[in-house]
Amino acid sequence: DVIFCRNVVIYFDDATQERVWRRFTPLMTPGATLYIGHSERVSGPATSQLQTAGLTTYRLGGA
């Protein structure tokens, strides 16, 4: 499973960005990958579930 969300959330405020990341995690299976833009970083509660797998790549834990 893969989600590509590149160069989208940079246009949202911090609270909205955190809501986006938090909504992605229930849609992902363990080990799924999230690709984001170079100027974006996952923030908020989702950081406890998404592990960095590269500069713009995150993987959902549990795999």
10-29 per-position pLDDT tens digit: 999 999 999 999 999 999 99
Kindly report the average pLDDT of the chain as a whole number. Answer: 94
Mean pLDDT of 34-59: 95
Q: Which pLDDT band, with edges at 50, 70 and 90, does 62 fall under?
A: confident
* pTM for this model (two decimals): 0.89
CA distance 13 to 5: 16
pLDDT of residue 37: 96
- Are 3 and 34 in contact, with CB atoms under 8 Å apart? yes
CB 36 within 8 A of CB 56: yes
Q: What band does 63 get if pLDDT is binned at 50, 70 and 90? A: low
Domain ranges of the chain: 2-60
Helix runs in 1-63, H state only: 14-24
